[in-house]
Amino acid sequence: MHKGSDDRPIGVFDSGIGGLTVAQEITRLLPNEQLVYFGDTARVPYGTKSKESVIRFSKDNVNVLLKHNVKIIVVACNTSTSWALNVLRKEYKIPIIGVIEPGSRRAVEMSRKQRIGVIATPSTINSGKYTQTILKISPSAVVVAKPCPLFVPLVEEGWLDHKVTEHVAAEYLSSIKDQDVDTLILGCTHYPLLKPVLQKVMGKHVTLVDSATETAREVKKLLEAQGLLRVSKHPPRHEFLVSDEPEHFRIVAKRFLGHDLPHVRRVDHV
């Protein structure tokens, strides 16, 4: 390792499988980087849990990743980012990136009328974090937030293009459509997989923003700025860790990524 580089892996955690959408964007943008992904499948979902539980789980997840000698940590889970990002940044020295700021910034850039919808888990919406973050960037914006708890199980079930999902989406999104938003933030790791249905329900004139791409850009910027890019010529070997049995993760991961994940290992929390 020479000066201005760092061959250690990037750590990514999520409540379960959904953060693979973020991990995938990171590997697409930074193909030479190595990832350690931890999905807390034993305790998923976080989206219906309390602030206290989400903070405790998030700290445990950071501790798992630190054991794998990561150089930065990406909190791919929106619910964890909502409640725990500030706490984690205070308690740990390692650089930590969440998904809410990047997504919010992108939405403000994209929105012509500054009328922005946010859909996410109940816990994320209750935290008010998206609304706060958007208003900090664009104080005159109008933010319409809506929890959509049924979307996560529908995605896990693989019902991405199913009439039931379309009905549920029409029901959830009607109050957001009434507010004439021109941009909709998909504030949950699972929602990018519902893009076709969500676009159909919202109409073509509404821009859908998912945080994954923007977060990956943020990771790249940080690694470059801090001289932390991996320079090794060996092809990267990503590791996927879960806190429950790996089989279910593998099956759903295939749905998320379109290909098999070869190495998925179960690890216990520290």
- From 11, 45, 98, 117, residue interacting with ligand DGL (rule: CB under 6 A): 45
Burial of 193 (0-12, 13-18, 19+ CB in 10 A): buried
203-237 exposure pattern, b = at least 16 Cβ within 10 A, e = fewer = eeebbbbbbbbbbbbbbeebbeeeebbbeeeeebe
- Point out the catalytic residue in the list 188, 216, 228, 264: 188
**Least CB distance from residue 235 to ligand DGL, whole Å?**
29
- From 104, 165, 189, 215, residue interacting with ligand DGL (rule: CB under 6 A): 189
Is position 77 annotated as part of the catalytic site?
A: yes
Nearer Cβ to ligand DGL (108/152): 152
Is position 188 annotated as part of the catalytic site?
A: yes
Distances in whole angstroms, Cα of residue 104 to Cα of each of 80, 159, 165, 208: 16, 27, 25, 12
Q: Which of residues 9-38 bind ligand DGL (CB under 6 A)?
A: 14-16, 18
Nearer Cβ to ligand DGL (84/176): 84
| Sheet of 264-266, strand order | 96-97, 72-75, 10-14, 35-39, 239-242, 264-266
**Least CB distance from residue 40 to ligand DGL, whole Å?**
8
- Point out the catalytic residue in the list 72, 75, 76, 77: 77
Query: Can you give the binding site for ligand DGL, defined by CB under 6 A?
Result: 14-16, 18, 44-47, 77-79, 121, 124, 152, 188-190
The catalytic residues are 77, 188
